[in-house]
Chains A and B, each alone.
Chain A
């Protein structure tokens, strides 16, 4: 069964460093998402991506965040200068297309900023 994959599973970084979180969505899916979950809290929407551009972003997704689909398979989230409050689990999700509303989530990347 196809699934969304994410790498790395865990990342520890120093405050101010750049991190890139990687995702491989389900093949042939057209819509891609990033969410984050601060420990013990709800899952929050960050950004959606379709047709090689951002379709929507939340207030959380400020200038230090960016997303990219550098090739036909990977979908990345970059945090340019990490802050302590960026420590969270980051989930990638993908959706097949219009009328196919279910988002399938990857296993997450747990980011710890020290």
Chain B
């Protein structure tokens, strides 16, 4: 079965703090893809990153970084020096052989000035 778990329902931090959003997944597919999307208050889903199951290299993009560990089935997302504009709901998603996405329940991030 395919499943994505985001155990953190809501996180509040003060601006400039670092914050890590957790994502744990389950899949039987040998090839799969992991994604993070941002959903700001306006409601759209903004693509942030995709990771292939055969590429465990971590990635950094500006203040964003992602830590993919197959051994623990985790794909965690860290925002360094958070800003108020980072306030949103963040979704982790998994796709496998049949390409439909399985989304986690999302983590609401509140960044306070």
Residues of A that sit less than 8 Å from B by CB: 31, 33, 35, 41-45, 48, 55-56, 58, 89, 91, 93, 95, 101-108, 110
Contact = CB atoms under 8 A, between A and B. Distances in A.
28 contacts: A31-B99, A33-B100, A35-B101, A42-B91, A42-B103, A42-B104, A42-B105, A43-B103, A45-B101, A48-B99, A55-B98, A56-B100, A58-B100, A89-B43, A93-B101, A101-B33, A101-B52, A101-B95, A101-B99, A102-B35, A102-B47, A102-B50, A103-B101, A105-B37, A105-B44, A105-B45, A105-B47, A107-B44
Contacts of B100: 33, 45, 48, 56, 58
Interface of B: 33, 35, 37, 42-45, 47, 50, 52, 91, 93, 95, 98-106
Contacts of A41: 105
Nearest to A33: B100
A56 B43 contact: no
B4 to A, nearest CB: 9
Nearest to B32: A101
Nearest to B42: A107
A91 B46 CA distance: 12
A74 B100 CA distance: 20
B35 A45 contact: no
Residue with the greatest number of chain A CB neighbours at <10 A, chosen from B37, B44, B102: B44
A56 B52 CA distance: 22
